[in-house]
Chain A
């Protein structure tokens, strides 16, 4: 089973700042890495798939990069609605589908 480790667990930033979130896989997932945003009481929302492709309707301030085992989600300038929990997920070698533990982006 591929284990995904996200860091940091919590990121405290102010609106307008840049957020950099990391997701590391225990073995290569090629580019089959997905990023989700989740707000309280809501289902996860697809942001990025195949490591770097923005989903429909996702603002350009969200970008994904990386390959193999190391991936990054960058939010170039945080908007108030971006404060949420972010999860990575791999489906390179599934089942099982695996998720990272999440990074909470909170208002500083």
Chain B
């Protein structure tokens, strides 16, 4: 069984960028889509985008176009989510999700504060 292990919590200033990693342990995810989903405090789940590493296909939710970059390193089975031009509304827990077997990372809290 694959476990997705995400990088630790981040505190960022408005206008800066954050990069969160998601590493598959116990297997690889190269053939399956990996999505990024976020959850603002007290709010629901919001899909941000996905990557299919083996095909190098990336799709973004329209809301994040131009501000979000999703990449993957097949050699280390690690996916990355980079969000730029951060604002306070980006404060949320960010999850990676392997879409085929529905494995979730543990979540990474990103706090955007002056």
**A43-B95, A91-B99 as given contacts; A99 in contact with B104, CB under 8 Å:** no
CB distance from B96 to the nearest CB of A (A): 10
Cβ contact within 8 Å between B102 and A49: yes
CB distance from A91 to the nearest CB of B (A): 7
CA gap between A65 and B46 in the complex, in Å: 24
CB distance from B8 to the nearest CB of A (A): 15
Q: Is A55 an interface residue (CB 8 A)?
A: yes
Cβ contact within 8 Å between B47 and A97: yes
Q: Is B53 an interface residue (CB 8 A)?
A: no
Chain A 34-63 against B: per-residue CB contact (8 Å), 1 yes, 0 no?
101000000110100100000100000000
CB-defined contacts of B95 to chain A, threshold 8 Å: 43-44
**Count of residues in B whose CB is under 8 Å from the partner chain:** 18
CB distance from A4 to the nearest CB of B (A): 10
CA gap between A105 and B45 in the complex, in Å: 17
CB distance from B31 to the nearest CB of A (A): 16
CB distance from A27 to the nearest CB of B (A): 17
CA gap between A44 and B44 in the complex, in Å: 11
Q: Beyond A44-B95, A97-B50: 12 further Cβ-contacts under 8 Å? A: A43-B105, A43-B106, A44-B45, A87-B44, A95-B50, A95-B59, A96-B47, A96-B59, A96-B61, A98-B47, A99-B44, A102-B44
Q: List residues of chain B with CB under 8 Å of any chain A CB.
A: 35, 37, 44-47, 49-50, 59, 61-62, 95, 99, 102, 104-107
